Chain A
Amino acid sequence: MRQPIKNYFKKGDPYILLTTLGLILSLGMVAWLILIILVKGLGIFWPSDLVKLDLKNDKVYMGELWNSTFEKTGDGSGKFKKVAKTQLKIGNRDVYGFDFTWVEDSLIRNKNYPEYATVFERVEYGNLYGFIKSVNIIDNKIESDNDTIFYKCRNTLSYANELKDTSDYLNTEYNDLLAPLNDIQRKISLLKMNEGYLSTKDKRKLEDLQYEEKKVKEEIEPKEILLNEKLNKNRNKLAKLYLLVETADGQQIKLPFENIVKFYQPNRMNVFEKGLQYIGSLWEFVSGDPRESNTEGGVFPAIFGTVMMVILMSIFVVPFGVLAAIYLNEYAKQGPLTRIIRLSVNNLAGVPSIVYGIFGLGFFIYVLGSSIDQFLFADKLPEPTMGTGGILWASLTLALLTLPVVVVATEEGILAVPRANKEGALALGSTKWQMIRRIVLPNAMPGILTGLILAISRGAGEVAPLMITGVVKLAPNLPFDTSFPFFHFDRKFMHLGFHIYDVGFQSPNVEAAIPMVYSTALLLIVVVVLLNLLAIYLRTRLKNKYKSASF
């Protein structure tokens, strides 16, 4: 017996189905988003096979299959044509001028996967796809069968890398050697700028400096010559290590080993080898420096910058957040005023991050930073030192932004401490501070940690306020290094979130850059989600503890 329709609606089963619709769609959206990022973010490191397409118009392309689509063309007569097209990443930017090309499937005459097709990841101009013709090792040109030559290339690449390392080392040595001289020369040129108006004291200073310059020059000259010789020798050697590569359409390209990051022949790799290669690429992404205006290479500086900024932020936010929470709960008189304050702190969590950003810019940078420059770095003005965006100001801004999160979470933790414990401590004669230190703080620890973790996950994902307080697309130096004073508060830094925005929206070659952005997005999500899971775990533990204590 079927239920009458009026009754069916009255009892509300259709509405229950409607609520499931809401949930399915919400979850579907989330799953879709995660799936896209997972697939696209992880997919790009997989060494895909190189396909060679012979076209009917006698063009030959070789590259990775990238995308395929149907293009609809209505020819006006009401008839409708579907044209299948394939996008190929053909690389070789220096030869063709572009990385990607679309091919109509109907034009393909022949499609094969040449066994010895090679992918070269290069320092410049992106990937090169082709076949190794010969290797030139110093004065030795080797033409041999494909396997031997591949093997030789492997060895030569590691040799070239050794030479490169030596070069880098020699270069730093060279720079260190010249550093004192450069310093003197900078001072001289500064004085010379106002040559007509120098006081006698300055004139004498100039003479002294010029004398010193001469002396230093004489002193370092023999060493300089020696180093230069070594460097040149190294350079010559490197220049003589190169490959001749033939592209699919028969052009010969000279590829110096110096320019190769790595190379492989995906068509003859098995799944296991590809897996190894994949892990290598993944590691390189996480630990390497960016190349080609951030569209290739790794994101290590961005990870480092994000972590540094977050640490600095935590150092600011945790003590103050905890202080404020303890004050509100233990010392402040509970009344309408504290209620208003608590409400305000709560509401601040909802104030848009860009508002904190503009405050950071206006107050920290233009007011505080500029005044610090006036007092401490007056000799460098008008070039600002602290009066411009930097990691210190960015972390302070984020500390303000995350302060409400920490205060609220800490308060929750403090409130969860059973009253009996606190009163017990006081009854035993402890002072308020002793009670706070021995009873409140240890018990509120999970709450404080939750706050910290939530703050970190918010800080790591926030971009808008950082954009205007010190993040840059490419920072020449990390904010932390081995030169005194180790931590450089004034330096600008790179950030994962900003990296996504910048590479995805402001890079000249967006199409080639997009895969990198997906991977960076995935990395950021993984970090944020892990931190949140940790926070959720701690919160549950806190709740359980509170439950057990109330019995």
Chain B
Amino acid sequence: MKEKSISNFRKKAKRTDKIAKGIISLGGFGVILSISAILLFLFYESFPLSFSASITEYLGWNASTKKVLLAGIDRYNEIEYLLDENGKVEFYRIKDQKIFQTDSIILAENEKIISADKGSLNDEIFAVGTNTGRIITAQIKMTPFYSRDERVIKASFAVKAIYSTTDSSTLPEPIYKIQYSKNEEASEYWAWLNNRNELRLRIYDADEEKFYNYNITDQLGNSKTSNFTISTQGDHLIAGTEGGELFWFDLSDIEDVQLKSNWRSSKNTITSLAFLIGDNSLVVGDAKGFLQLWFPVRSSNNEFRFKKIHDFRKHKNEITDIIVSPRNRTFLSIDSAGELHLNYSTTSNTEIEFKPFEYAIKTAAFSPKSDALILLDSKNRVGQFIVDNEHPEVSFETLFGKAWYEGYETPEFVWQSTGGSDEFEPKFSLIPLIFGTLKGTLYAMLFSIPLAILAAIYVSQFAPKKFARIIKPTIEIMAALPSVVIGFLAGLYFSPLFEKHLVTIFIAFIALPLFFLLSVFCWRLIPEAKRRRLPSGADMLFVIPFLIFSFLVAVLLANTVELFFFSGNISQWLYDTLNIHYDQRNSFVVGFALGFAVIPIIFTISEDALSNVPYSLTSASLALGASPWQTVKKIILPAAAGGIFSAVMLGLGRAIGETMIVLMATGNTPIMNLSPFNGFRAMSANIAVEIPEAPVDGTLYRVLFLTAFLLFVFTFLINGVAALIGDRLRKKYARF
């Protein structure tokens, strides 16, 4: 009986042991896994930035209409329309490729549409030109309706305006090429090329409800116009010639359209021209397949001139069309062999190169969300493609290199994630942020390394033991001081104080070393033998009055010095004479404030390293007649160097990652200069500021995750190095 109960007990104990082992192993392992999951998740969220774009065919069918001139899709990619030369508009439902509605532009007998152009990136409004010289403007609307949970897209078609370019008395002038734009103020611009090779322009001013007509052929010189385009807001007209020249007309003054400038962009005939969203960047394609991007840059005489910014990958054949994305600065270039390139302007990357059909492409259009593409070849094959191009604006070069953005005079490192309008191009250069982080770290380390290490040497070697026993925990507690408190003081107490007493600080910087030197020489007045017999700590008490004097001198002299040397106002003086702009929240304040966070770390760990140097070493050195300082210098410092190094590394890690102090004590402007009187924006503060506003899975969101990933890796490595060195050190001295 007894034996049985014992064996039962044993069984039970063994069972519990097994269960415990299972739970602990699982839990422990789970914890370790979940920690590594952080790194994986950060990587997972930022990784899609490096995905290249893809275009996949979703559907393809043969259109019943012949000679299609225009096509378009609705914003949900559910229906699309095709416009043919007879003015017939057919609406297809994409999922079954059936026509569900037809409309038409009423044309005269024998009248055919021979050219067409969309007038807006956001609306399906377009103008067509006929062989009898008529220009017809029409609009298609594709609006969603909701009944229950189902979405039905309904289409409507309306002709808006009809204009005859010639009287009925004269011969009709077929419109070979037309360009049309309707801007946000509802003003409209038509430009067309007729059979006599005249470039004509017609403008409707919505404010005055007036029309203006121009013939700008004369201003183009002798060269024959091969292509032209109007910007979507109607401010510029650019015409390209067979000789490869470009002519820039300024349409902002509609009463007086003038040639602004002309220049040669290519050796070959200009075959394609288009403005990207934002109306700044002009894409130029020529007969040999060269593709360039130009935008106006302010020149030395303060005038804007178009400048070539990028060359894109060359097509093998003539570029026939450029299709612009309504969402971002992506565009599609199409050549005569039916090959397509998907390009992004700022990165000058050609994301994809593909040939969807065997034959040349006649018509192409982006969907309003730029996530689908509709293509039509010369054999009337229609293809709908899904465009997967989530983060075209980010590439390794734009993140870590200089990029030339519209409106800038040179390529620059810029961080500017949000702007006022839809046309704003986000600028994601991480360099200003990394620079900011390093700048803050640099000032913090410059300030705290000497102080912390000196203090650690004193406390570990020279201070009275009782004193050291109080000092160490006090400073350790300082390390736990919430950074938000330090940041708040830095932003609201120290920065105004420093601004007010800048001169005092300057003088203190000079007076402090001088008075310290004075104290050094006064200390020598005490005979050496007497000095050795002084109780430890006397040296510190001796120095204190000198420091107090130096501060007093700084405070007392400040006003006079400011008046005589800086004409009464130092920040004004700095600006006038040295062109230094003094920000109230600046790097000097950050360096000082970060010192509060970093000094305790460096101090504690260095002090540990210094006091852990085996006593036998110290005693040996002293016994051989070395002075205390000589012992410190020759024995203790070399022995503890690794520990001190790892202390500095840990401090560095803290300074790099510190968020609240940097957030509160700098102006958070992403500028790049080393001046201690200016602020910066650090990676950590940038995350804190921008992540709440960043749309999930958008480019900004992912770039911020990338920043976090980089921070993680930086600090992890720095801490790793520190720990390894600390480990080696411990082993080295374990044998003493």
Same complex: yes
* A residues adjacent to B (C-beta < 8 A): 1-3, 5, 8, 10-30, 33, 36-37, 72-74, 78, 80, 82, 194, 197, 319-321, 323-328, 330-332, 341, 343-359, 361-363, 366, 400, 403-404, 407, 430-434, 436, 454, 457-458, 460-464, 467-468, 497-498, 500-501, 504-505, 510, 514, 517, 521, 524-525, 528-529, 532-533, 536
What is the 8 Å Cβ interface bit string for chain B, positions 534-554, against chain A (1 contact, 0 not)?
A: 000001101110010000000
Top 4 A-B residue pairs of the complex, sorted by shortest distance between their CB atoms? A327-B28, A12-B629, A352-B657, A22-B454
Query: Could you list some 8 contacts between A and B, CB below 8 A?
Result: A17-B542, A21-B516, A21-B547, A354-B657, A359-B42, A468-B692, A500-B484, A525-B481
Question: How many angstroms between the C-alpha atoms of A432 and B45 in the bound complex?
Answer: 42
Measured CA separation A331–B715 after assembly (Å): 29
Write out the residue numbers on chain A whose beta carbons fall within 8 Å of the beta carbon of B568: 72-74, 80
Report B728 CB to chain A, min CB distance, Å. Answer: 13
Check B387 for interface membership: any CB of A closer than 8 A. no
Query: A497 CA to B661 CA in the complex, in Å?
Result: 12
Specify which chain B residues have a CB less than 8 angstroms from the CB of A343 in the assembled complex.
Answer: 720, 723-724
Contact indicator per residue, chain B 455-489, by CB within 8 Å of chain A (1) or not (0): 10111011100000001011111101111111111
- Contact in complex: A501, B664 (CB < 8 Å): yes
* A30 engages B478 (CB within 8 Å): yes
**B708 in the interface, Cβ–Cβ < 8 Å?**
yes
Interface residues of B in 1-34 (CB under 8 A from A): 13-14, 16-17, 20-21, 23-25, 27-32, 34
Residue of A at shortest CB range from B457? A19
Q: Which of B485, B659, B660, B691 contacts A525 (CB 8 A)?
A: B485
Tell me the complex Cα distance, A514–B493, Å. Answer: 10
Q: Are B31 and A320 in contact (CB under 8 A)?
A: yes
- Given A13-B531, A345-B32, A504-B488 in contact, is the A72-B563 Cβ separation under 8 Å? yes
- Which of B38, B459, B704, B724 touches A23 (beta carbons < 8 Å)? B459
Contact count band on B: 35 or more
The answer to whether A504 and B481 touch across the interface, beta carbons within 8 angstroms, is no
| Cβ of B590 to closest chain A Cβ, rounded Å | 15
Residues from chain B with a CB closer than 8 A to the CB of A323 are 23-24, 27-28, 31
Q: A26-B475, A320-B31, A357-B688 are in contact. List 12 more A-B contacts (CB 8 A).
A: A5-B524, A16-B462, A17-B516, A18-B516, A19-B455, A20-B458, A24-B540, A24-B544, A72-B568, A73-B568, A400-B35, A463-B483
**B35 with A403: CB separation less than 8 A:** yes
- B454's contact among A12, A23, A468, A517, by CB below 8 Å, is which? A23
A-contact bits for B691-732, CB 8 A (1 contact / 0 none):
110001000000011001001100110111001100000000
How many angstroms between the C-alpha atoms of A1 and B530 in the bound complex? 11
Q: Are B569 and A532 neighbours in the complex by a CB distance under 8 Å? A: no
Please tell me if the beta carbons of A521 and B660 are within 8 angstroms of each other in the complex. no
The complex places the Cα of A12 from the Cα of B148 at a distance, in Å, of 88
Give Cα A316 to B563, complex, Å: 61
Q: Are B32's CB and A2's CB within 8 A?
A: no
Cβ–Cβ < 8 Å partners of A363 in chain B: 41
Which B residues are CB-close (under 8 A) to A532?
476-477, 480
Which A residues are in CB contact (< 8 Å) with B473?
Answer: 533, 536
* B193: chain A residues within 8 A (beta carbon): none
Judge whether A11 and B471 touch: CB under 8 Å.
Answer: no
A20 touches B539 (CB 8 A): yes
Is A22 within 8 A of B708, CB to CB? no
Out of A37, A436, A529, which one reaches B20, CB within 8 Å?
A436
User: How distant is the Cα of A468 from the Cα of B632 in the complex, in angstroms?
Assistant: 48
B477: A residues at CB distance < 8 A = 529, 532-533, 536
Asked if residues A17 and B520 are in contact (CB atoms below 8 Å), the reply is yes
Assess whether B563 is in contact with A36, with CB atoms less than 8 Å apart: no
A464–B35 alpha-carbon span in the complex (Å): 19
A454: min CB distance to chain B, Å: 8
Residues of B within 8 A of A25 (CB): 451, 455, 547
Contact A16 B628 (CB under 8 A): yes
- Partner-contacting stretch, out of B56-64, B242-250, B341-349, B595-603: B595-603
Cβ of B519 < 8 Å from any Cβ of A? yes
* Cβ–Cβ < 8 Å partners of B519 in chain A: 17
Residues of B within 8 A of A (CB): 13-14, 16-17, 20-21, 23-25, 27-32, 34-36, 38, 41-42, 45, 147-148, 450-455, 457-459, 461-463, 471, 473-478, 480-489, 491-493, 516, 519-520, 523-525, 527-528, 531, 539-540, 542-544, 547, 559, 562-563, 567-569, 595-596, 599, 603, 627-630, 632-633, 650, 653-654, 656-660, 663-664, 684, 687-688, 691-692, 696, 704-705, 708, 711-712, 715-716, 718-720, 723-724
Question: Is there contact, CB below 8 Å, between B481 and A1?
Answer: no
How far is it, in angstroms, between the C-alpha of A197 and the C-alpha of B696 when the chains are bound? 33
Q: Is the CB of B540 within 8 A of A23?
A: yes
Tell me how far the C-beta of A546 lies from the nearest C-beta in chain B, rounded to whole angstroms: 17
- For the complex, give the distance between the alpha carbons of A33 and B489 in Å: 8
Cβ of A47 to closest chain B Cβ, rounded Å: 24
Picked from B520, B540, B559, B719, the residue with its CB within 8 Å of the CB of A72 is: B559
Residues from chain B with a CB closer than 8 A to the CB of A78 are 563
- The B contact surface, by secondary structure, is helix
User: What residues of chain A lie closer than 8 Å to B711, measured between beta carbons?
Assistant: 351-352, 354-355
Is the beta-carbon distance between B516 and A353 smaller than 8 angstroms? Answer: no
Chain A proximity of B649: nearest CB distance (Å)? 9
Please indicate the chain A residues that have their CB under 8 angstroms from the CB of B17 in the complex: 431-434
Task: Report the nearest B residue to A199, measured CB to CB.
Answer: B148
Cα separation A64 to B716 with both chains bound (whole Å) = 52
Given contacts A197-B147, A355-B708, A433-B16, contact A350 B650 (CB under 8 A): yes
Q: How far is the CB of A295 from chain B (nearest CB, A)?
A: 14
Bound complex: CA A356 to CA B487 (Å): 20
Within the complex, the shortest CB–CB distance from A183 to chain B, in Å, comes to 25
Instruction: State the Cβ distance, A516 to closest chain B Cβ, in Å.
Output: 11
Among A22, A341, A430, the most chain B Cβ lie within 10 Å of the Cβ of: A22
Nearest CB of B to A378, in Å = 14
Q: Is the CB of B42 within 8 A of A29?
A: no
Query: A356 contacts B38, CB within 8 Å?
Result: yes
- Min CB distance, B258 to chain A, in Å? 50
B622 CB to nearest A CB, Å: 13
Choose from B28, B31, B457, B562 the contact partner of A331 (Cβ within 8 Å).
Answer: B28
Task: State in angstroms the CA–CA spacing of A103 and B450 once bound together.
Answer: 44
Whether the pair A433, B21 counts as a contact (CB closer than 8 A) is yes
Contacts of B660 in A (CB 8 A): 463-464, 497, 501
Within 8 Å by CB of A74, from B516, B563, B684, B724, lies: B563
Contacting residue for B539 out of A17, A197, A345, CB 8 A: A17
Nearest A residue to B560 via CB reads: A80
Instruction: Name the distance in Å between A291's Cβ and chain B's nearest Cβ.
Output: 21
Q: Which residue of B lies closest to A501 (CB)?
A: B484
Q: Which residues of B contact A528 (CB under 8 A)?
A: 480-482
Q: A82-B559, A350-B650, A352-B711 are in contact. Are A23 and B458 (CB under 8 A)?
A: yes
B524 pairs with A3, CB closer than 8 A: yes
Which B residues touch A29, using CB under 8 A?
595-596, 599
Is A11 in contact with B627, judged by CB distance below 8 angstroms?
yes
CA distance A242 to B463 in the complex (A): 65
B691 to chain A, nearest CB (A): 5
Q: Which residues of B sit under 8 angstroms from A358, Cβ to Cβ? A: 42, 687, 691, 704-705, 708
Complex-state Cα separation, A431 to B13, whole angstroms:
7
CA distance A346 to B716 in the complex (A): 9
Q: Across the interface, which residues of B come within 8 angstroms of A1, CB to CB?
A: 527
Whole-angstrom CA separation of A346 from B653 in the bound complex: 13
**B-chain residues with CB within 8 Å of residue A11 when the two chains form the complex:** 528, 627, 629-630
Q: Are A345 and B656 in contact (CB under 8 A)?
A: no
Q: Which of B480, B528, B563 meets A529, CB within 8 Å? A: B480
How distant is the Cα of A23 from the Cα of B610 in the complex, in angstroms?
15
- Among candidates B38, B540, B627, residue contacting A20 with C-beta atoms closer than 8 Å: B540
B28→A74 contact, CB < 8 A: no
Residues on the A chain within 8 Å of B718, using CB: 350
Query: Is A362 within 8 A of B563, CB to CB?
Result: no
Whether B476 contacts A536 by the Cβ 8 Å rule is yes
Assembly CA distance A102 to B563 (angstroms): 24
Contact B35 A345 (CB under 8 A): yes
